[in-house]
Every structure is written in C-alpha cells, then in structure tokens.
Amino acid sequence: MRGWWREIVDLVLPVDCAGCGRTRSALCARCLARLCGAEGTQRVRPSPEPAGLPAVYAAGAYEDELRAVLLAHKERGALRLAEPLGAALAAAVRAGIHAAGPGGRRRDEPVLLVPVPSARSATAARGHDPARRMALCAARQLRREGIPARVLAVLRQRRSVVDQVGLSATQRVENLSGALRAAPGSGRLLGAGATVVVDDVMTTGASLVEAARAVAAAGGSVAAAAVVAASSCDC
C-alpha cells in the first residue's frame, strides 16, 4: 500500500529534479541525458577486489547527479525515477553480456536479471525493493531493443546481517557470506538463460559476490554483474 501511495503522490505533487534540483521536473532533460547515455558504461573493479566477484559493469560513478537520483529513488520513494535508472542499468547489462562473448550467452538465449534482494526490514521501511524495481524496468528496456530479458527475483535472505556502514571490505564479505540462498526449484529457471546479477550500487563488491555464490549453489552460472553506479572503483 505504501508503494502505491508514493506513486500517486509522486505523480500529483510538483517536484524538483532529483539530480540537480531544477524546479518542477522530476528529472530534467540534462540529467536524464546523462543518466541514460551509455558513454560512461564500463567494467569496474573495487579495490581490493574480493574473490568470487564476476565481471561487473556500471553505467556511471556513484557521485554528483547519479548519486542524487539513486538516493531519491531508494530512500525518498521517488518511484518514477525507476524507469530512467532501469535504462541506465540496461546499458550496463548490455555491456556485460557483450563482453562475455559467445561463451556468456547464445544469440537465442534470454538474459536473466537476478536482483540482489534488500533486507526484509529495509523493504518494509522504504515501501519498495529498489534493485528489483530497477531490474524490471531494465528488462523492459532490453526487450524494447530486441533482447529477450526477464527478471528472476529468486534470491532470499537466509539470515540477518549487520549494517554494512563502517565495515571494511573484508568485514563486508564476512558479514554477507552465506546470507543469501536461491528459492527452491530456482536451478531450472536459472539454467534457461544467461544470468546477470544486478544491483543499484557497488561499493566493495561483497553483495555481488554473495549473490553470485547463491546463484552458483542453485546450479546457475553468472555471465556478468551489472550496477547503475560504482563507488570508489578502479576502472
């Protein structure tokens, strides 16, 4: 119910641009062009790079307008921003699949977007799951471009974890190790296409490592990972 209410409020009330603050525009033309442009899409590597991290592609750096838009969508419930953020995520997915080459995906094979799940408490507090919402928009964008894509939201939290804020890269990996599992029966679904693990932001890569591990444990194979933005990474 909270998610629906936020969508209605977002449509009715005048808002400022989530990226630069320009008045009466949820996302101004300049910020939209920057967000949806694929020029900044590239492979990114956190430093240190954790073991088990798939090749990660990001649409941009977690700074300035992109950071502001992501926070507005994630923390302030600006749900209409999911569409342009999904387009940016789709660009990162395309880059990952292209780089994986023929070994990553057959031409007729669907692209399976597996979002890193938010903790149940975070989803309840925000009223939505940001990564899943953006993944759905990214899949629609890819289909519009002729790429068969769908979202498999099969990952589940199997145990609680502590807040990642303030943890080192090593501590984040240890905190998340074994925290996710794939839903029963997911192996067959994951085997039906090229799997790309997706999230909104990569900081240390710990969440993507754990998501890739859970996919592999269910019998899937991760071709790449894709995020909207990467923070403090080597490119």
Considering 26-35, 54-63, 104-113, 171-180, the range whose residues carry the highest mean pLDDT is: 54-63
Reported as type and span, the H/E element at residue 195 is strand 194-202
Q: Is 93 exposed, middle or buried (0-12, 13-18, 19+ CB in 10 A)?
A: buried
Angle between helices 64-75 and 29-36 (to 10 degrees): 90
Q: Are 36 and 229 in contact (CB under 8 A)?
A: no
The predicted structure's pLDDT at residue 78 = 78
Write out pLDDT tens, residues 8-57: 344 444 466 555 656 555 666 666 666 665 567 999 999 999 999 999 99
The per-residue pLDDT of the chain, averaged, comes to 82
Dump pLDDT digits (tens) for 122-148.
Answer: 666 666 789 999 999 999 999 999 999
pTM passes above 0.85:
no
pLDDT at res. 76: 76
Distance CA 53, CA 46 (A): 10
Q: Where are the domains of the chain?
A: 2-234
Contact 93, 226 (CB under 8 A): yes
Q: Is the peptide bond before 115 cis (omega within 30 degrees of 0)?
A: no
